[in-house]
Structure 1
C-alpha cells in the first residue's frame, strides 16, 4: 500500500486575540483565593482533623472532589487523618468530606467573591474590542450558580461559564472546560485564545487546549494573601512572594505572568505581537 504525504502546512494564524478564558477565584474575584481554601479547612475540622491554609492551597485549581482527595494524601494531613479516624482516607471519606464541604461553599462563596481591582475595567475593554469572554472554574455547578448572579451584580459579566462537573471527562488539568468555552463562544482559531489562571492546574489546562497562558501571581492562590495583608508587607517581602509565585507559574508553562488581572491588556499586546509573526502557543 502506498502512503502519500502532504508536505504543505496550514497557514499560520496572524490575527488578534479572539477570546480570553478566565479562571474565577484569585483571577476575576476573591483576591487571595480564600473562598475554596477556608471552607476546606472548616470541612476537615468537622471531622476532627486540622489542616492549615498552606496545606489547603497545595492542590488548588483541581475539581473540589479531586482537591479533597489530593489534600488527604499530603503527608501531614494523611497522618493526622489516620491518627484521628484510625484508617487512611478512602474514597468514601472523600465523598463524606465533599458532602460536608459543598453546602458550606454554596453558603459562603459570595462572602469572599468581590471583584479583583481592575476586573470590571479589563472585561469592558476586551468586550469593546470584540474579544469573547469565557470562564471556567474548579467550582461545581451548584457553586457557580450562586457565584454568577453576585458577579453580574458587581459588574463581572462573562459570555460563558463552565463548572468542573459540567463535562463527563472532568476538570483540570485536562483541556475540556477550556475547549467547551471555545465551542460555546464559536471561536475557530485556538492560537487566538488566551487562558488566564492563578494555579498550575489551570495553566496546564490552557496548554493542553493549545492556548496562550497567562499566570496571575499576586492576587492568586500562590501568594494567598488579601489585598490589605499584601499592602501591609515591606516592599522587599512583596517582591519575594511575587517572584516565588511567578517562578512556579512559569515552571508550569505559563507564557506570561502578571500581578493581577489589571496587567492582562499588556500581556495580550505581547501575545498579539507574536501572533503577527506567525507564532503559536
Structure 2
C-alpha cells in the first residue's frame, strides 16, 4: 500500500460551534423565537438536540419530540404537517438572517490549529447544517476574520444533509482526498459524528465551544470547576454514544490527535 495513505490528507470541519460561533448560538434564539411565535414554546435543550441537521429537518425533528408534538396538538387540535414546518422555517430563517453576521467570530485556538494543519500539508474542507443563503452571509465575515476553508458546501446543495454523508463526499471529490481513512470529520454535534461515520471517515468531536455543551465562553470561564466538569462529562458521553473515534476538549488538541493516529498506523486501515 502507498505509504501516503497512512497519513491524514484532509480535515473537514463543521462551522458554527466548531470553528466559529462559540457555543453555536446563532440558530438558538431563532429556533426559540419561531416556536414562541407559533404559541408552542420550546426549551433550550429541545432546540439544541437536533443541531447540525439541515434547518428544515431540524424543525421537523423538534416537532416529532413527544412533549412538543403534544403541545402542538393541544394548541391546534391536529398533528403538525409540512405546511406548519414551512411556516416555522420561514420565521426561523428571517430571524436568523438578521443576526448571522454577529456570530462569525473564530473560536479560540481555531485559526492557529488550522494554520498548523495547513503547514503539515493537510487540506481544509467544511460542511454545515446551514443553507447556501445563510453561508453567503457567514463566509465573507469569517474570511474577513481569518477563516476560509479550501472547500465549503451547504446542506441544501446536496440531495440530503446530515446525517447523510453527501457533503463529505463532495469535499473528498473537490479536494481530491482519498481513501476515507485519510480523511477526518471534526464537529461539535452528534449529527456531525453520524455524518462522518456514514462517510467512513475518522470522526472527532470537540467539547469546548460546542452546541452539545451549550455554554457561552463567559459562562465556561465563570462556572464552578465541578459543575463545568459535570457538563463536559455529560457532553463526552453523548459523543461516545454516537461513536466518535476521538473526543477532545478543545480544537487546539486536534494536531496531537492526528499525529497519534498517523504514528499508530491506524490510518492505513480502510474501514
**TM-score, length basis structure 2:** 0.95
Out of 189, 202, 210, which is 1:199 matched to? Answer: 189
Counterpart pick for 1:51 among 42, 53, 57:
42
Tell me the distance in 1 between the aligned counterparts of 2:144 and 2:2: 43
**Match among 246, 249, 253 for residue 256 of structure 1:** 246
Q: Select 1:178's aligned residue among 168, 179, 186.
A: 168
Deviations 1:155-193 (A, max 9, x none): 01101111000012x111111001110011111222110
CA contact (8 A) 1:198 1:216 kept: yes
**Structure-1-length-normalised TM-score:** 0.92
Structure 2 residue 212 is matched with structure 1 residue 214: no
Any idea what the Cα deviations from partners look like across 1:65-94, whole Å, max 9, x if unmatched?
110001011122112222222322111100
Computing the radius of gyration over CA atoms, which structure comes out larger, 1 or 2?
Answer: 1
- Provide the C-alpha distance between the structure 2 equivalents of 1:280 and 1:271, rounded to a whole number of angstroms: 13
Q: Distance in 2 between matches of 1:21 and 1:104?
A: 28
How far apart, in 2, do the equivalents of 1:273 and 1:243 lie? 28
Return the alpha-carbon distance in structure 1 between the equivalents of residues 156 and 267 of structure 2: 38
- Asked if the contact 2:6–2:267 (Cα under 8 Å) also holds between the matched residues in 1, the reply is no
Give the corresponding residue for 2:52. Answer: 61
State yes or no: 1:116 paired with 2:107.
yes
Question: Which residue in 2 is equivalent to 1:3?
Answer: none
Structure 1's consecutive aligned runs of 4 or more residues displaced over 6 angstroms after TM superposition are 10-13
How do 1:1-281 and structure 2 match up within 5 A? Answer: 14-168=5-159, 170-275=160-265, 278-281=268-271
Q: How many residue pairs end up in the alignment? A: 271
SS of aligned partner of 2:157 = coil
Q: Distance in 2 between matches of 1:140 and 1:107?
A: 15
Distance 1:83 1:161, change over 3 A: same
Unaligned regions of 5+ residues in structure 2, if any? none
CA contact (8 A) 1:13 1:275 kept: no
Three-state SS of the structure 2 residue aligned to 1:221 is coil
- Rate the CA distance shift 1:279–1:188 in 2: closer, same or farther, 3 A: closer
Distance 1:211 1:242 in 2: 25
Would you say the 8 A contact 2:181–2:268 is kept in 1?
no
CA RMSD, Structure 1 to Structure 2 (Å): 1.6
